[in-house]
Structure 1
Amino acid sequence: MSRPLTARQQHVFDFIVKTMGELGYPPTRAEIAKALGFRSPNAAEEHLRALERKGAIRIIRNTSRGIRLPNQEPQELTETPAAAAPATNEPLPNGLPVIGEVAAGSPILAAEHIDRYCPLPAEYFTPKADYLLRVRGLSMKDVGILEGDLLAVHRTDRVRDGQIVVARLEDEVTVKRFKRQGHQVTLIAENADFAPIEIDLRTQQLDIEGVGVGVIRGGNGQALG
């Protein structure tokens, strides 16, 4: 951080860090405005721009949650072909498995799903990541998760409303925002072109493969906290 923050800027920065720590993704301008008592999201935007000028955050343009913490980005990452590693379903000590296509009915960390390994420590993310899932499509583009990105995933089936999850519904694995009310679960896209997926747990099987804890942009080594 190049220059000290004002008290108000510090409040905004602290709220961003808190939200990312609790939910795994940054707040929107509207959420910042509501939480901190600003009159409009435009006021929040002014504080975000000031934080960016001071080097406290980095803003990804044209996304509603495009806020990143530069101090969480590693210098450079390379990827190791899976063929060079021992056959195993567990994350290697020196890297996280990169998961490509997932076959129906098989474990997500099955050896045949692992394209390569990325030498990024699991503890880089909070909570720790267990694997990186290559993103297909643009259904989550409004939170800065784009085609070809690697989504860092913490394996758990315990999930809160509002978290971004990797969900398995019948034969499909998908990345969506999770919302539950009783026996009804809604998997929500962050793109107005995609309708939400409605699941009735009384009649449909839904498995949570984990929650998103970070993104590596384009799978090319630029990690976004």
Structure 2
Amino acid sequence: MNINTVNDLIETTLPKLTARQEEILGLITLAIEESGLPPTRAEIANRLGFASANAAEEHLRALAKKGYIELSPGTSRGIRITHSNNHSSANNFRQLNLPSGGLQQLTLPLIGRVAAGCPITAIEHIEKQVPVDPSLFSKGADYLLRVKGMSMRDAGILDGDYLAVKKTTEARNGDIVVARIDDEVTVKRLQRKKDSSGSYIELQAENPEFKNIIVTAEADFTLEGQAVGLIRANGI
């Protein structure tokens, strides 16, 4: 049985979606493509004019029951697309288990603790090489960064996860980035803001237990890269 035959079987065996369910699946795909993250229930409700986030939750559960998405309990963005129904264009940020093998794989260096003053991809920071299916990350990843802590919990990024990062010095508002502030490397959501004193950068946590970081003019700030994917290293 070839790949096309398998895909045809998937198309015919999955239940058909309602127009509203197709709309929501398309919205989820677009959000992942544009920001690297699935939307929250509140964002879906606001975008589609639902009265409450509960209405969005009901549609998400229906999509999950039909096999198009998987829902991860305990996180506001815990949505993973498992079948796109032709809505998928470029899923930049997918939560996936470590690949068990494949015909086409590349290896990415896994970066652990980063020493002060050293390039993030310096050889002394590399814990190991991890085999990865190159099709997982549409933008292409240059390395994996081992996540430390739970400051990005509500974005579905947990302690111990492997964050796939593309090297870049540019990012848009709302992107999840790897940034260096003085001698500390952190993963946060980038926001450029203005107030009466001028422009500044705020690195936002996705967990109310953690404070956002305001990057002052005096700080030595470097954008190390943009998150383009996530590997759930423990298989959860």
Per the normalisation by structure 2, the TM-score is: 0.82
2:159 corresponds to:
147
SS state of the match for residue 22, structure 2?
A: helix
Listed as ranges, the gaps of 5+ residues in structure 2 are 1-9, 84-93
Q: 2:74, 2:97 → 1: CA distance?
A: 24
Within a 5 Å distance, the mapping from 1:38-57 to structure 2 comes to: 38-57=50-69
Listed as ranges, the gaps of 5+ residues in structure 1 are 79-92
Which aligned runs of 4 or more in structure 1 are off by greater than 6 angstroms? none
Over 3 Å counting, the alpha-carbon distance change for 1:160 and 1:192 in structure 2 is same
SS state of the match for residue 95, structure 1?
A: strand
Q: 1:128, 1:119 → 2: CA distance?
A: 14
1:61 corresponds to:
73
User: Is 1:140–1:191's contact at 8 Å kept on the other side of the alignment?
Assistant: yes
Alpha-carbon offset, residue 121 of structure 1? 3.5
Alpha-carbon offset, residue 123 of structure 1? 3.9
Alpha-carbon offset, residue 149 of structure 1? 0.6
Per the normalisation by structure 1, the TM-score is: 0.86
Alpha-carbon offset, residue 75 of structure 1? 7.8
1:208 corresponds to:
223
Q: 1:74, 1:196 → 2: CA distance?
A: 29
1:196 corresponds to:
212
Q: 2:43, 2:49 → 1: CA distance?
A: 10
Give deviations 1:54-96, integer Å, cap 9, x for gaps. 1110001011111012356578337xxxxxxxxxxxxxx8311
Return 65-74 or 6-15, whichever deviates more.
65-74
User: Is 2:163–2:227's contact at 8 Å kept on the other side of the alignment?
Assistant: yes
Q: Percent identity?
A: 50
User: Is 2:177–2:225's contact at 8 Å kept on the other side of the alignment?
Assistant: yes
Amino acid at match of 1:213: V
Q: CA RMSD in A?
A: 1.8
Give deviations 1:169-209, integer Å, cap 9, x for gaps. 00000011111114311111111111111112x32221111
Larger-Rg structure: 2
Q: 1:128, 1:158 → 2: CA distance?
A: 15
Amino acid at match of 2:24: V
User: Is 2:71–2:78's contact at 8 Å kept on the other side of the alignment?
Assistant: yes
Q: 2:180, 2:97 → 1: CA distance?
A: 30
Matched, 1:76 2:102: no
Kindly tell me the number of residue pairs found equivalent between the two proteins. Answer: 206
Q: 2:156, 2:106 → 1: CA distance?
A: 27
Alpha-carbon offset, residue 106 of structure 1? 1.1
Over 3 Å counting, the alpha-carbon distance change for 1:164 and 1:122 in structure 2 is same
Query: Which of 33, 36, 46 is matched with 1:24 structurally?
Result: 36
Q: 2:178, 2:147 → 1: CA distance?
A: 10
